Structure 1
Amino acid sequence: MVAQAGIGVTGSVVRVTGSGLGCRTWPECQPGSMVPVQHAEYHQFTQWIEFSNRMLTGLVIAVAAIAVITAWRVKLDRPDRRRLLALAWTMPGGVVLQAVVGGMTVLAKLEWWTVAIHFLVSTPLIWLAVLLLHAFLEGDEPARWLVPPLGHKLLVTLVVALWAILIAGTTVTGAGPHGGDPETHRLDAPIETLATIHGAFLVCYLLVLVMFGLTLLRAGAPKRLWWRYSLVWVVALAQGVLGSVQYALGVPEALVSFHVLGSALVIIATAALWCGSRDRGAAAPAGAEERELTAA
């Protein structure tokens, strides 16, 4: 979770420092060189910022590989844990996909819509990382929802509203001043209108969250679910306040990266609420099935 969210934050640093084309080709940094070199048009500092972000992809792949190996070891003891291994494989697969999309973004000279896709591809990977963590800690029984059917529908609506916020946010970024390179094209649309739409989706998200809370109250939800519900409120409101301050101050660079971090935290909190709203049973310890058969 930290790796998937962190690579998005470092990517925002590349964008706000104008280093997106510090390495002007892909997979090489400069034509004929995999690493930054002296270049008349590209400052070496911006080259190293972009190059360092690319190298962090290797770290994310390493973490993803460890997750797969760990899930595979669990499955050796518990052959029925196919869901856990499948979720683990989405991590390295997603990182490779993200690297390819990142390369296409560079080759497209950071066109705003390619940057938007590059960011949006990372968001489901953060969500899946939360599901993977829960998969390690829970069983593999069919999901039994702890909320009534209306609550389940509201939860699905909440997730849809979350991605609407993220998509709308990329259009605000596309029209904003930080394109990753001074020469890149920007979205030709009034940023005030785009920011208003982005904020309206957040209001919808919060309204759905209120209605979901009422269903929890009526259903007598467990305490741990209320804790997760409260966490979503704290993170979402903090992100909303940060976005408003960021807009009022003229989108300073540092707040852009904090806003990207906030987006990741909202995804993590919402995914944790999703996972906490259903029960898949307890995770049996390794070898438990074999011990039961032996005892029988």
Structure 2
Amino acid sequence: MTSDTSNAPAGSRSGARPSSTDDAPRPLTGPWRFVPGFGRPTARFVHRWAIALLISNVGIVATGGAVRVTGSGLGCPTWPRCTDESFVPHGELGVHGAIEFGNRMLTWVLIVIAIATWIAVLRFAGSARRDKWLVTLIALGIPFQGVIGGITVLTQLNPWVVALHFLLSMALVSAAAVLVFRMRPYPAPNAPEAADSDAPPTATRRLGIYLAWLVYLVTWMAIYLGTVVTGSGPHAGDADAPRNGLDPDNATQLHADAVFALVGLSIAALVYARVFARPQQRSAVVFMLLLLLQGLIGFVQFATDLPIALVIAHMFGSAVLLIGATWQLLVAQNSVAKNPDPAETATKKADPLRESA
């Protein structure tokens, strides 16, 4: 591993990983030589584990939504045990206890996947320092997320704590999407080659990054306001759980306003990418389609009094939408890092002292 790779910024690692890094022989010593794939991890092997980590984080969001909308949030009335006497539910807790306990068990599956991904990334010869820090933070965030989940139970599903629990899950989803992007074994999208005179200036290319950042941040705003709507609505996770006291109609309107702003920014980002033929064209189109589908689900669930299936689909869609916003931002940053302004490059070559100054 070279120093320039380990210290490269997240957006600068574009293109396929060099074969010398991907296939560099490493001595198979220690117990890992007996574990298939982990003795000498390849780029594709690590990338698949990163994808598995992302999918499992999205899955836990969906199952958490199922716990909430079925009123099973207090199916296990305490934490870390299910009851004061047992770690597992008993017959008196009924189906709600089984649903809540099942969701808790899925957290252990997620932990196993996170540990496997962490080991794969750390043992991979092509991993940069930032990759190792990122996967470590994700792995540590999962048990921390479990603790927040336990606090939601101990606070009798306080809506603000429940919102924090959901937002942390979404943060892990976004971080896992970054890991998938960074560990990809294939070239990243890149702008078509053009003559220096035809290449857009740096200010124009950075506009794409600013738009992508705005899309990403407003996506987070819409997701947060969605938790406020949920905290004021009927799906409290338990019949006796408290609500946040806000008017559901006003909270819904505020959430809708954020979505409308997100639609406008998404259109601007898409038009920019198309006009200037930027690499994020595809990711901008995909994000726009995801946003329209998510908006449709949200409108239908509101008009049909929040049926369980649509609420779960809307929570799942929020996670997928955040992945789309994260990916669009990463592609935009990567395109500028890989394609510096020709005028600036020529200036640095002509006057190397200026760059060092």
| Identity across matched positions, percent | 33
* Cα offsets for 1:20-53 (capped at 9, x unmatched): 10101110000021001244xxx32111100000
Please state how far the C-alpha of 1:84 moved relative to its aligned partner: 1.2
1:246 aligns with one of 296, 301, 304:
301
| 8 Å CA contact 1:146, 1:278 repeated in 2 | no
Specify the alignment match of 1:286 in structure 2: none
CA distance change for structure 1 residues 208 and 10 in 2, over 3 Å: closer, same or farther?
Answer: same
- The residue that corresponds to 2:343 in the other structure is none
Aligned pair in 2 of structure 1 residues 44, 146: CA closer, same or farther (>3 Å)?
A: farther
- 8 Å CA contact 2:58–2:319 kept in 1: the answer is yes
What is the match of residue 94 of structure 2?
44
2:308, 2:170 → 1: CA distance? 21
SS at structure 2 position matched to 1:28: coil
User: Is 2:274–2:281's contact at 8 Å kept on the other side of the alignment?
Assistant: no
Q: Does 1:171 align with 2:242?
A: no
Structure 2 residue aligned with 1:291: none
- The answer to whether 1:11 aligns with 2:64 is yes
Contact persistence 1:147–1:277 (CA under 8 A): no
| 1:126-173 Cα deviation digits (max 9, x unpaired) | 01111101111269xxxx999712221121111110111011001110
Is the 1:148–1:215 Cα contact (8 Å) retained in structure 2? no
2:86 counterpart letter in structure 1: S
On the 8 A contact 2:267/2:288 being kept in 1, the answer is: no
Could you say which residue in structure 1 is the equivalent of 2:256? 199
CA displacement at 1:191 relative to structure 2? 0.9
The counterpart of 2:160, out of the listed 84, 98, 113, is: 113
Counterpart of 2:79 in structure 1 is 26
Structure possessing the higher radius of gyration over alpha carbons: 2
Distance 1:159 1:113, change over 3 A: same
Aligned residues: 269
**Residue 87 of structure 1, aligned match among 131, 134, 140:** 134
CA distance in 1, matches of 2:164, 2:333: 31
Distance in structure 1 (CA, Å) of the matches to 2:110 and 2:282: 29
**Alignment-derived partner of residue 284 in structure 1:** none
Whether contact under 8 Å (1:91, 1:129) holds in the other structure is yes
Residue in structure 1 matching 2:117, options 50, 67, 81: 67
Structure 2 unaligned spans of 5+: 1-53, 192-201, 339-357
- 1:86 shift after superposition: 1.1
Identify the residue that residue 108 of structure 2 maps to in structure 1. 58
Quote the residue 2:288 is aligned against.
233
- Which amino acid in 2 is paired with 1:89? T
When the two chains are superposed, the root-mean-square deviation of aligned CA atoms in Å is 1.9
Local SS of the residue matching 1:278: helix
Query: Is 1:156 matched up with 2:206?
Result: no
| 1:13–1:257 Cα contact (<8 Å) kept | yes
Query: Could you list the runs of 5+ residues in structure 1 that have no partner in the other structure?
Result: 282-296
| 1:218, distance to aligned residue in structure 2 (A) | 3.6
Residue aligned with 2:88, SS? coil
Q: CA deviation at 1:94?
A: 1.2
Shift of 1:57: 0.2
Report if the CA contact (8 A) 1:147-1:216 is conserved.
no
Runs of 4+ in 1 over 4 A off after TM superposition: 144-147
CA contact (8 A) 1:146 1:277 kept: no
- Return the alpha-carbon distance in structure 2 between the equivalents of residues 94 and 84 of structure 1: 15
Aligned partners of 2:204 and 2:98: how far apart in 1?
A: 49
**Following TM superposition, by how much is the alpha carbon of 1:227 offset from its aligned partner in structure 2, in angstroms?**
1.6
Deviation at 1:90, TM superposition (A): 2.0
How far apart in 1 are the matches of 2:111 and 2:69? 25
2:235 matches 1:185: no
What secondary structure is seen at the aligned counterpart in 2 of 1:137? coil
Q: Is the 8 A contact 1:161 1:201 kept in 2?
A: yes
- Aligned with residue 145 of structure 2, among 82, 98, 102: 98
Q: TM-score, normalised by structure 2?
A: 0.72
In structure 2, give the amino acid aligned to 1:69.
I
Please, which moves more after superposition, 230-239 or 185-194? Answer: 185-194
Cα distance change, pair 104–228 in 1 and its aligned pair in 2 (3 A) = same
